Amino acid sequence: AHPGTSLCHQMLFFIRAAILIQNWYRFTMARLEMRRRYSLSIFQSIEYADEQDQLQVFSTLLFFFPFVPVSHIFTSPSVSQVVDEGLYLTEFEKKIDVPDSYYGPRLSFPLTVEDANALLHAFRNEQLLHARYVLQLLYETRRVLKEMPNITHLSTSYSKEITVCGDLHGNLDDLLLIFYKNGLPSEQNRYVFNGDFVDRGKNSMEILIILFAFLLIYPNDLHLNRGNHEDYIMNLRYGFTKEVSKKYKDHGQQILCLLRDVFSWLPLATIIDSKVLILHGGISDTTDLDFLNALERNKLTCLLSSLCSGNSFFFFFFLKLKSLMQPPKSVRDRQDQLKERIPTTRPSKHTAGKTQHISLSGSAEPSGSNLPPDPALKEWKQILDILWSDPRSQNGCTPNKCRGGGCYFGPDVTAKLFERYNLKMLIRSHEFKPEGYEISHNGKVITIFSASNYYEEGSNRGAYIKLNPELIPRFVQYQVSKVGTIESSALKCLREKIYAHRSELTSAFAQYDLNGTGRISVNDWAAAMESVLQLELPWRMLRSQLAQTTPDGEVDFMSCFYDLKIGQPIKEVQPALVETLCRYRKDLEIIFNVIDKDRSGLISLEEFGQTWKLFASHLGIDVYDESLDKLVLSIDYNKDGHIDFNEFLEAFHVAELVGCLGSSPSCH
């Protein structure tokens, strides 16, 4: 053969081989990326659905206000018996003893850098700060915060750069990593922390202690903005309250009460060089910075609860009542079903889903109401908007359906606000971002999220912003541990949801299975999953992980529920109740906590009955008194006339359920 030809041939072989390998590699990487993305999708949709559930629960509580003593939610119980604030430090020393066996940090006020270092060292070694010092710290923090305006103004003139951090959500490792990479706060190293310090992660308390300590040492150089999670109803739901109660058994309640107040005193926003606005959520088309700066921010202890004082509350209640004049669909249905003996589970929130929701955002005036606009309502909405809103690329300002509070705001809303207040940039947090940050609205809006591995190990990076005197942002990303696969975690989460909706799903599938074969098309299966679970997920992609198919490509729909066994429930209890409990475990916990006024974790048998009825009406299921009594008696295991919430969950093996799901069927 001619040497030239064979050389050409050889070259061609190499080139073709290279192309094949490159092609295959890019294909494989794209598939991995897709799997990573939909895993994140799963986590995110479940999270947002949860948050929406949260607000729905709350609206229902308001509806039942006349029958349930929830009035104590809306007023801050008195936090301290001490009238003269100057004496509080010594009061605590007198009242709370720190034993010699305590080896943690012993703080002395005013705090110094040594105290801060001692705290950092202790927390790295997983020690707890003693309750007395926590309380003293919180009192001091409140005193300092009270002096601060609602909107803090900073200037870059005398420091090199200002560092802005986003959501931390109890991830102490991330805060320590930020301090390691970027240095501790000081006069030369200024920080702004943009809210959501607590909930979800397991070190919310430690993060607060560190941030407050530095705030006391460098009040002009460490700045905090309030986030939507600095709100005690959110804390009840998303873990911070539990964390505090566990870590501080004796003084937990005192600490939580004081925290409620401290949170309400957190500033709402920070402005740098009059050009860069930093706040937690976003803005709306009605955001009024002057109004925000002037209002009394501490009145709103809990955004989700009410407009606090006197008349405003009743107005708000009336507003809610107006939207609830049409009682929730399930209540009406239940009345229609008085004749039926079998309780039905028909959660109105899920069938209502995206089209109809009980919104806490929306316009300041109720439609058709003759009541004059209430200034307290305006205050509440202004703050809700800046703590809960999200930017979107479409123009306009629409209610934020995902969250149930705040708005979606478009580039035109941003532009208008910038023009009105002569701003250049908006830095906000509030939304998870895989890379830790995201730029939108043509570079005008930056989202900064500092909790890495937020959903799961490997789910995302965290980031912080370095802002120089020219106000050009520089992003620093990090991730606390190695990237691993998060897919199996996401799927576990999803399977838990599937189990919780088992009976609804089964009937939805059955509707497509006209001949009772147990099989339906992929299309029908996907439609049923989406409509019942109300989660926008790529079902066809997930199908192979969630259900088995027959050789001819149909879905054996009951296979969705294999491996999702729950232990034998108590005989007297209807199976539907068990399932409902799984789904509404969190809701039940909130309601339980509200009724358990002293948060002792114990409620009496009558109180329990009351809780159960409230819970049941929220879901539209019927409860019959005899089965309820039997239920209650069987749950009070130690027969002391009280039910511990854990006893209750234990009875239905709910606590174990999460551990069991997705693993072997033989877990009981």
Residues that bind other proteins (CB under 8 A): 13-34, 37-38, 41, 392-394, 522-523, 526, 536, 538-541
Q: How far is the CB of 432 from other proteins (least distance, A)?
A: 11
DSSP 340: -
Comparing CB distances to other proteins, the nearer of 394 and 604 is 394
The token pair that represents 504 in the structure block: 């609804």
Q: Toward other proteins, which CB reaches closer, 166 or 391? A: 391
CB of 45 to other proteins, least distance (A): 11
Q: Which C-beta is closer to other proteins: that of 30 or that of 294?
A: 30
Task: Report H helices in 340-485.
Answer: 348-352, 375-388, 411-421
Write down the least CB distance from residue 543 to other proteins, Å.
10
Give the residue numbers marked as catalytic: 229
Please state the closest distance from residue 526 (CB atom) to other proteins, in A: 7
CA–CA separation, 130 vs 108, rounded Å? Answer: 13
CA–centroid distance for 356 within its chain: 22
Nearer to other proteins, 24 or 318 (CB): 24
Distance CA(175)–CA(459), nearest Å, equals 18
The CA-atom distances, in angstroms, between 399 and each of 173, 273, 283 are 35, 31, 12
160, 170 in Cβ contact below 8 A?
A: no
The residue among 185 and 411 lying less far from other proteins, judged by its C-beta, is: 411
Q: Which is nearer to other proteins, 23 or 356 (CB)?
A: 23
- Which region holds residue 414: left if phi is over 0, alpha if psi is between -120 and 50, else beta? alpha
Asked, as a colleague might, if the bond just before 110 is cis with ω within 30 of 0, I would say yes
Write the CA distances from 63 to 70, 72, 320, 338, 643, integer angstroms.
11, 15, 8, 21, 26
- DSSP-based three-state secondary structure for 606: helix
Query: Token pair for residue 235?
Result: 């804390």
| 8 A C-beta contact, residue 39 and residue 490 | yes
- Cβ contacts of 630 within 8 Å, gap of 6 or more: 572
Buried b (16+ CB within 10 A) or exposed e, 109-119: eebeeebbebb
CB closer to other proteins, 51 vs 587: 51
Structure-block tokens of residue 43: 């986590």
User: Which residue in this structure is represented by tokens 């039905």?
Assistant: 344
